[in-house]
Chains A and B, each alone.
Chain A
């Protein structure tokens, strides 16, 4: 197949986000650069190869994209470089096997636009990630970068505040507090110095939207913080980035240097006389350090533990001074709001949740990755259209939203709109935008147990409801998964959980009961199966599970036998197989591999 016109590609974007780097995308980038140089193409046809930040569809990385045609290759290996160069770069031939195939469809699609993963997306916070070289301030500026800061310098703080309030933006770090209101509260306090902080702790396992922005579009955060600092009157700011995010720290460091050289940071910004300095602080890594008061304690050099905060940090935050703390994604939205106006932003989304939100869609969906969609999209659209549905033809069971202390939302609520208030009404939360999709082979009791275990390790342990409450919840859940539960246990869990929700000291303890309360609410029957029938319907809790091969369905293909690690399955080819219950360790491999649904949970 030949290209549709004779001109050359202008740009080749090679994704060099953390995931793609791990799959050697740097070699693809340098390999392509080398080939093009060696070939000595005349300058006007030489495509520019760029290493970009994460493009969102990590699972299918490394991703190589050709502009302006938008031809997109996935899962490219360094070994493919020669072929890509010769066929695609030189001769504009497409390589079929590297193109995307839509789930359920035969044809491969050429462009990123046609990929259903990207179709419904609307990128504001992620407007530049995957499009620019994060180490180049030039790239950022070519796409309108720093024009909002210039504009803001000519605005009064009041005008900035009005714009942000008008946008209806709510914090993307978890609680969804109205950003404009927070800014105004902080601006209204007449004590100086004031500080701005960017929360880049991102402690939710599986979430990586903040990392993606930090690594892929660092200047949008700097610009956002510059605007926020103008609005409240702060001259210094901190970027709190978790220690594990090595690449993010490097990109941010480089971006700060470049911004300083250009005069966008420092003493006399754009010659306006305004002064703003930015500094990176590496986080200790505990989940609770993402909580605002713990984070500030950590910047001050103290143990990262939350404190009681009846006095808000906009009044007394870092070192007791007025402090404006926002999440990475919140900051990244700011320049666009200033450029396009608050009313533009508020025209997107639902009545009380404006704009877009980045979700990390992971778990049992076909397309795993980062997606940015308008608020108010339904769970069904997210999971089945963008996510491409459930892997392996299994049934959807639940989606856990909001990180480890979010709730699990069942099938019945799939048509629910995704926004701050609907999620909360469903006993879950927006959190930082984690979405873990679970299929029928997920035990909800075990899931609740898993999160409570995580939280009991990550809680700082300071206050009684959270520390002791989680410990006992875990004991009770352990008991239920081992067949030692009673029906009163459910009431006990609800009793403890509702106390924790109100009496715990910080947001961790206050949200920690969500996984338990939501699963009891929506999957009570499954709890009762564990308790009354001593049976785990999903076949996960080992003590309450037996596997059986159904004679009438078994074709004797022997796949289960091959996959059983302990040799518990016997049977002759083409004859029905049997499982030796004594030997079986309940690993579930057999049920997962059998193509004839012949393995049954007893």
Chain B
């Protein structure tokens, strides 16, 4: 099926998300809350695009029940959708960078900038869109979190569910249960690494990791000394996936060293007369 994005004709499978199609064709749509593995949040609304759908328009005419005047010169109805979750099921034409979209993104960024003045991700986009800090609005100077929800989704995906969004409306935040160190947190740092804003602080110091007000013992690679993860994390993964293949004769290896070992193992096996114990 064909999709025309900013004038460029692209091939697409039915049901494919617009963002994927655009990416494949090197069309850049800004995103903040999108991660391939954690798709579907659609909370930041920065990836908005305009979709014109000839068929839908015809259908609406036939039923004659929806408002016809959408104030567009173009005969086809335009609607604003978020590219990251919009599945393409019909031949459509898409604009990703119209003046209207840029203006709307500017409004979204103005709001985000006021919320999280310290967020790097916002800073860069804000510059690109010429957004300046609104000084009349109150902000928490040190705030970085834009409440995209990626951290919660990442933690859920780990199966740990140690953090969640709490409160409704304008008081919403991300937090551990009752803001106490979470029992189920394993210190894996998935949340921190997926955060687009660098809003989840953690430290790895003297063999200890601190995140979400909880301290974890760090486990390092027996060969190179690189940090592999926390003890709780490795135990958790071990329980979930069966005994970990990395634990070998009390040895804990990082990914790199494991690869080296695998390679040398293969060498040993391929040498006639040698058996691997």
11 A–B contacts, CB within 8 A, in A order: A181-B63, A308-B82, A311-B87, A459-B170, A460-B168, A461-B165, A461-B170, A462-B172, A464-B46, A464-B112, A502-B48
Identify the stretch in B36-44, B178-186, B187-195 within 8 Å (CB) of chain A at 4 or more residues.
Answer: B36-44
Alpha-carbon gap, A526 to B136, bound state (A): 23
Interface presence of A300 (CB below 8 A): no
A464 and B168 within 8 A (CB): no
Query: CB within 8 A of B107: which of A170, A288, A457, A495?
Result: A495
Alpha-carbon gap, A456 to B111, bound state (A): 14
Contact string against B for A residues 307-349, beta-carbon threshold 8 Å, 1 for contact and 0 otherwise? 1101100000000000000000000000000000000000000
B146 and A462 within 8 A (CB): no
Interface presence of B67 (CB below 8 A): yes
CB B224 to nearest CB in A, in angstroms, measures 43
- The secondary structure that dominates the A interface is helix
CB A477 to nearest CB in B, in angstroms, measures 13
- A461-B167 contact, Cβ under 8 Å, with A472-B137, A504-B45, A505-B43: yes
Alpha-carbon gap, A472 to B63, bound state (A): 39
Interface presence of B201 (CB below 8 A): no
Query: CB within 8 A of A460: which of B112, B114, B169?
Result: B169
CB B164 to nearest CB in A, in angstroms, measures 9
CB B97 to nearest CB in A, in angstroms, measures 15
Interface size on A, residues (CB 8 A): 40
Contact string against A for B residues 128-172, beta-carbon threshold 8 Å, 1 for contact and 0 otherwise? 000000001110000000110100000000000000010111111
- Chain B residues numbered 44-66 whose CB sits less than 8 Å from any CB in chain A: 44-46, 48, 63-65
**Nearest-CB residue, chain B, relative to A500:** B107
Interface presence of B125 (CB below 8 A): no
Given contacts A310-B85, A456-B169, A460-B169, 5 further A-B contacts (CB under 8 A): A178-B63, A181-B65, A310-B81, A464-B46, A502-B80
What residues of chain A lie closer than 8 Å to B86, measured between beta carbons? 310
Interface presence of B247 (CB below 8 A): no
Alpha-carbon gap, A496 to B45, bound state (A): 14
Interface presence of A69 (CB below 8 A): no
Interface size on B, residues (CB 8 A): 39
Residues of A within 8 A of B (CB): 170, 178, 181, 286, 288, 307-308, 310-311, 352, 421, 424-425, 455-465, 467-472, 474-475, 479, 495-496, 499, 502-505
Alpha-carbon gap, A467 to B116, bound state (A): 13
B137 and A459 within 8 A (CB): no
Residues of B within 8 A of A (CB): 40, 42-46, 48, 63-65, 67, 79-82, 85-87, 103-104, 107-108, 111-112, 114-115, 136-138, 146-147, 149, 165, 167-172
CB B28 to nearest CB in A, in angstroms, measures 19
Interface centre among A461, A471, A475 (most CB of B within 10 A): A461
CB A295 to nearest CB in B, in angstroms, measures 16
B45 and A458 within 8 A (CB): no
**Nearest-CB residue, chain A, relative to B64:** A352
Alpha-carbon gap, A456 to B103, bound state (A): 23
Query: CB within 8 A of B169: which of A461, A475, A496, A504?
Result: A461
- A463-B137 contact, Cβ under 8 Å, with A170-B65, A178-B65, A468-B114: no
What residues of chain B lie closer than 8 Å to A421, measured between beta carbons? 67
What residues of chain A lie closer than 8 Å to B111, measured between beta carbons? 464-465, 468-469, 472, 496
**Nearest-CB residue, chain B, relative to A474:** B170
**Nearest-CB residue, chain B, relative to A468:** B111
A503 and B87 within 8 A (CB): no
